[in-house]
Amino acid sequence: MQIGVETSKAVDQRRVFVVDEDEIVRAALQFMLHDEIETHELATPEEAYEKGVGWLKPHVVLLGVGFLKSRGNDLIKEMKEHFGNEVRILIITDKSDEATAVAGLKAGAHGALVKPLTLESVRKKVDTVLGRGGGAQLVQLGGLK
């Protein structure tokens, strides 16, 4: 365990799937989260669907904005149908893809992780959508009022 990791979070059996086309982003997010939550890196939504069956369903999906750009916002609905409506979806985005992320939020995603990603902001946002406190603002995008 690393310094600053809350043991209660590390053993609460919550699961995050990081689904992004960029291997470096997946690895960075997995590294940021793995001490406090079970985290899995997956390159495509199909890999996530294959892995996330039964007891291995994710509680949170960190979804790369590139998938929304290439597949559309129906992907949010598809993920909820596959994993259940209780799954929380956070969109991983650059400021330059703000419009796509805002459309994803309107389609049912629960928030966004805006790059550059930091350990503190990522953990706070994941904790917030899991109801574990933290109180981080989920979205800081100019398109939402």
9: in domain:
no
137: in domain:
no
Across the beta sheet with 38-42, what order do the strands follow? 38-42, 15-19, 60-64, 88-93, 111-114
70: in domain:
yes
Domain range spanning residue 55? 15-128
Q: Say if CB 40 and CB 14 are below 8 A apart.
A: no
54: in domain:
yes
Select from 134, 139, 75, 131 the least CA-distant residue to 108: 75
CATH of residue 93's domain is: 3.40.50.2300
7: in domain:
no
* Tens of pLDDT, residues 50-105: 999 988 999 999 999 999 999 999 999 999 999 999 999 999 999 999 999 999 99
28: in domain:
yes
Counting the structural domains of the chain, the total is 1
Report whether pLDDT(32) > 70.
yes
